[in-house]
Amino acid sequence: MSLLLDINNIETCFRTEDRVLKILDGVTIQVKKGEIVGLVGESGSGKSVTMMSSIQLLSNSGKVTSGRVELDENGKNILEYKKNSDDMRKIRGGRIGMIFQEPMTSLNPVMPIGRQIQETIMEHIGLNKEEAKARAIEMMKLVNIPDAEERYDNYAQQFSGGMRQRIMIAMVLAAEPDVLIADEATTALDVTTQAQLLEMIKELSVKTGVAVVLVTHNLGIVARYADRIYVMYSGNVVETADTLTIFKDPQHPYTRGLLNAIPRLTDPEDRVLTPIDGLPPTPLARPTYCPFYERCNYCVPDCAEKPKPQLAEIGQGHFVACHLGRAEKDEKAKEIALKEGRSRPEKHISDEICLNVENVKKSFDIYKGLMQRKVGSFNAIEDISFNVRRGETLGIVGESGCGKTTLARCILRMYKPDGGKIELFGKDIASLGRSEMKPFRSQMSMVFQDPFSSLNPRMTAGDIVGQPLRIQKMTSSRAEYEKRVDELFRTVGMDPNQKDRYPHEFSGGQRQRLGIARALALKPNLLILDEPISALDVSIQAQVINLLEELQSSMGLAYLFIAHDLAVVKHISDRILVMYLGRVMEIADSSELYENPLHPYTKALLSSVPLVDPEKEIGREYIPMKGEVPSVMNRPKGCPFSDRCDHATEKCRSTIPELKDAGNGHMVSCFLYYER
Amino acid sequence: MNNTSVSNTYDKKLARRERVRKFLRTMFGRKVVIAAAVMLFIFIFIAVFASVLTPYDPNITSPYQAFEAPSSAHWLGCDEFGRDVLTRLFYGARVSLIVGVLAVIIACVIGVFLGLCAAYFGGVVDVIIMRCSEALMSIPRIMVSIALIVIIGSSITDLAIILAIPTIPGYIRMIRGQALSLKNSDYVKAAEMQGANSLYVMLTQILPNAISPIIVMMTQQVGTTILMESGLSYVGIGIKIPIASWGTMISNGKNYLITQPMLAIIPGICVALLVICLNVLGDGVRDAMDPRLRGEA
């Protein structure tokens, strides 16, 4: 098939105040008609910059300094067009459309969305107003927006995130482009919405013949949806092949490293994640030799002598930029396998109940108007009951807005629950006051999601880690305090000599380690981890997961692991609790839950998660979920899932099913399993 | 063991000295900040040693010298009562600096504390503090000051307090806005979860991150306060005649703006210079307080 978009060896530089940073170091990407190409890499690898460069969307400080971008193999380098020339604008939007991560900022908030689509059509296709409006409605129907005619005059903020992204797609596709670039377009969305959207993009690609470039850091997404994959690292493409080959026979050490670092739903229970050590080089300090050399465990000293490896074809359409041949790498792989042979740290789960939560409720009031009058309230969480044993990890999964964080804050007593019991080693803390809570503070602590906002930027790392010790006056002398802080640094694998540095001098992974060290300062028994790794890159995620597992094993900690990434939760948890709209849907052992999900919601949720294994994806059933997650404010009267469930009966719609044991400690709240 | 702890404290001392050095280096990284610091030092020096620097008394009038032109005896000439202008300028620096700086410090401490409380506790506390500050803001500054002078008096410290009060709402509003957004950040939550009390959270977690705009505001307020004081003196209720302040000198000089323009212009230049110095220094301090700009590495 003929080439549609040919990005050939482009280099892009960004000018900062005093130097020029080379962000892209010769990137070649080819897109054929009608195919879906995946572009994966960690943050800062240059994925987005590549696509932006190709359509000249870079900010003023960025410039493509060499290379060619061609459309249709017609020999015309489109980089030669002026940035804002008519020719370039016709290509941008007309031939190549792009959707971004943040649908809210991409849509004009003061113009009805229908009008925005209409304008695009008038601009690029040249239809008159009425025709364009008809076509806009057609496009909205194409991307499955219900009641397209009525919603034509709605504004962006009247739509949910998923719907806004659909509108963006409709707007881009309305101009009938040949290439659609989706730059992390589904990253900000929930798994089920993400699956809905990507399924739709795939369908559209078949239906309209548009080629798609999926720019993402999520290997699962490309495994499930892409035909061909480019792997980027530090401004270079290091490997490219069709999807099956990349996952079955990865040849670049970086690709192998990535695949070894991510947890999968299909993993056996004793799988150990192998993180890639170190950090990617900054564009400023990128070496002249292989940029992956420092982190590579296949490398030979020779690699540092030779110039940067170029992409070379080693199989049908399989290009790799590595000096080592297949035989050398296989040899080395055996060696590495022998050397590592690490097993998962042992778990010590005792029968002692560490945390017992019974029927916890929390509602929030809604205030409105100038006088902030109370106009109503909604229950963020209802009837939550579960327990965690000492040394155990309980995973909590659910989509955004399901009440995970509210629950965590209730347990930590940031909020006062409206009812129910929260027992910490048998003592109910649900209604204690601030000062009564103080002695219990040392027994549990929290690790936050965002490693950038969870550390006070004005305090040194040592002060941050030691803060709980100072607050609770746990150490009697200065020397003892310093000793304890040093010890905490070492516990999380950091050098105590870095105590005097400030948070901004650390990388994301290191900051998260500091967050963990701070949480461990008071020797707690229970650690609540609220999405502790979702802000980190794949290779760093594995480091933190392994650290958490080691700490649990050596200190006998109980974890409450809150996350939306089901593969990660599956990997780290012993038991998993599934939440939906503030209620518990299902609790089961993690392997049991994945092998034998009972609740229709759990089933749909699991089928939405891409597997990072294209072979297993073939023929895998995808259970599409109807509609969208309703807001907790208009939760259905009966079972919260009843209006999206295929099995819902009259009973489901009128009464709330209780959480009941369906055998083997597998608890589920669904009428389907009551009578059996 | 003993050894390590010794080397540890040694390291600590070294590290602290290093930090101070970095602080100063960032602060004085720009030449203009050095110039401002030197300038401010000169002003302070003059204010402190006014009585040594000049042979004249600032307040004794000698009518036959009225409006005398600058000469080797009177470098800047004499004013309408024959008092040496330079001498009055020196003594005026004392009053202006004390009133300006003291008023700003008083206002800042009270305003920042109330603002933090309003933001952190919210609810009734917030409503009370904010409504009161709005009430204060709705009355013209000069009227508040006049009313207060009647109640409190008009010595130098009284004046500082009086000039501070109408500026408090500005600090409250500014710090409250900053603190409201910081109060929900994860590190504040973390400290609360560790069992920290409200005062600790406000002072160690929120305040250091909210202080930058306050410092800039303070440096600007010194200038405004000095001008306010001169305004009050102009109406005749500020610093009691014959004590010299830059404000009184400007307002007196205004009467002779056409014939003897220098009488008002020279103290005016002094006020302007002092305000510029403080602004530049304020910027320097703000930069140096931010570890990200300090370039700790």
Chain A interface includes B186 (CB < 8 A): yes
C-alpha of B18 from chain center: 29
- The Cα of A496 is separated from the nearest Cα of chain B by a number of Å equal to 11
ipTM of the complex: 0.77
Give the residue ranges of DSSP H helices in B122-242: 123-138, 141-152, 156-164, 168-183, 186-193, 198-200, 207-210, 212-235
pLDDT of amino acid B167: 92
Return the residue of B nearest to A436 by Cα: B195
Q: A280: closest CA among A20, A14, A43?
A: A43
| Cβ-defined contact of A445 to B291 (cutoff 8 Å) | no
Nearest residue, CB atoms, A471 vs list B8, B15, B194: B194
pLDDT of amino acid B294: 67
| Cβ-defined contact of B292 to A522 (cutoff 8 Å) | no
Q: B58: closest CA among B236, B198, B246?
A: B246
Q: 1-40 in B: which are within 8 Å (CB) of A?
A: 5, 8, 15, 19
Mutate to test the interface with A, among B5, B187, B206, B207 (most CBs of A within 10 A): B187
pLDDT exceeds cutoff 90 at B38 = yes
Return the residue of A nearest to B14 by Cα: A500
pLDDT exceeds cutoff 90 at B223 = no
> What is the rounded distance in angstroms from the CA atom of residue A502 to the CA atom of residue A481?
19
Chain B interface includes A423 (CB < 8 A): no
What is chain A's alpha carbon radius of gyration, rounded to the nearest angstrom?
Answer: 26
Nearest residue, CB atoms, A414 vs list B8, B193, B290: B193
- Rounded mean pLDDT, B18-44: 86
ω into B242 cis (within 30 of 0): yes
Mutate to test the interface with A, among B178, B183, B194, B200 (most CBs of A within 10 A): B194
CATH of segment(s) B20-289:
1.10.3720.10
Retrieve residue A9's tokens. 């060896």
Return the residue of B nearest to A415 by Cα: B193
Nearest residue, CB atoms, A448 vs list B5, B186, B209: B186
Q: pLDDT band at B6, cuts 50/70/90?
A: very low
Nearest residue, CB atoms, A455 vs list B187, B194, B289: B187
- The Cα of B107 is separated from the nearest Cα of chain A by a number of Å equal to 24
Chain B interface includes A441 (CB < 8 A): yes
Chain A residues whose CB is inside 8 A of the B19 CB are 500
- Rounded mean pLDDT, B273-290: 84
Question: Domain segments of chain B: what residues?
Answer: 20-289
| Cβ-defined contact of A412 to B193 (cutoff 8 Å) | yes
CA distances from B204 to A299, A310, A453, A458, B200 (A): 47, 53, 16, 9, 6
Each residue of A77-111: pLDDT tens digit?
888 888 888 888 888 888 899 888 877 778 888 89
pLDDT of amino acid B11: 60
pLDDT of amino acid A370: 64
Return the residue of B nearest to A520 by Cα: B194
| Cβ-defined contact of B195 to A442 (cutoff 8 Å) | yes
Return the residue of A nearest to B19 by Cα: A500
Chain B residues whose CB is inside 8 A of the A450 CB are 186
pTM: 0.83
Chain B interface includes A481 (CB < 8 A): no
Mutate to test the interface with B, among A500, A516, A520, A530 (most CBs of B within 10 A): A500
CA distances from A314 to A237, A403, A414, B45 (A): 15, 50, 57, 79
Chain B interface includes A511 (CB < 8 A): no
Each residue of B39-84: pLDDT tens digit?
999 999 998 888 888 878 887 777 787 777 787 777 787 887 888 8
Nearest residue, CB atoms, A438 vs list B19, B190, B195: B195
Mean pLDDT in order along chain A per 10 residues (676 residues): 86 83 90 92 87 88 88 86 87 88 80 90 86 90 84 86 86 89 84 86 89 91 91 92 91 90 84 84 84 86 87 89 86 78 78 91 80 78 91 90 88 89 90 85 89 88 92 88 92 88 87 93 92 84 91 92 88 92 91 90 88 79 76 80 86 87 86 72
| Cβ-defined contact of A502 to B291 (cutoff 8 Å) | yes
Chain A interface includes B209 (CB < 8 A): yes
Counting one residue from A and one from B, how many pairs have CB atoms under 8 Å apart?
74
| Cross-strand pairs, A237 | A232
Nearest residue, CB atoms, A482 vs list B8, B186, B292: B8
Chain B interface includes A462 (CB < 8 A): no
Each residue of B233-280: pLDDT tens digit?
767 777 776 788 888 888 888 888 888 888 889 988 988 888 888 888
Long-range CB contacts for residues A449-453, cutoff 8 Å, separation at least 24: A449/A530, A449/A531, A449/A532, A449/A534, A449/A535, A449/B186, A450/A535, A450/B186, A451/A508, A451/A509, A451/A511, A451/A512, A451/A514, A451/A515, A451/A535, A451/A536, A452/A503, A452/A508, A452/A511, A452/A535, A453/B185, A453/B186, A453/B187
Q: A666: closest CA among A606, A592, A560, A602?
A: A592
Q: E strands along A482-582, which residues? A: 526-530, 558-563, 575-580
Chain A residues whose CB is inside 8 A of the B187 CB are 453-456, 464
pLDDT of amino acid B10: 52
Chain B residues whose CB is inside 8 A of the A454 CB are 185-187, 190
With a pLDDT cut of 90, the percent of chain B lying above it is 26
Chain A interface includes B215 (CB < 8 A): no
Secondary structure tally for chain A: helices H, strands E: 23, 23
Chain B residues whose CB is inside 8 A of the A441 CB are 193-195
Q: 211-270 in A: which are within 8 Å (CB) of B?
A: none
| Cβ-defined contact of B195 to A518 (cutoff 8 Å) | no
- The Cα of B118 is separated from the nearest Cα of chain A by a number of Å equal to 17
Chain B interface includes A437 (CB < 8 A): yes
pLDDT exceeds cutoff 60 at B1 = no
Nearest residue, CB atoms, B200 vs list A412, A471, A482: A471
| Cβ-defined contact of A414 to B189 (cutoff 8 Å) | yes
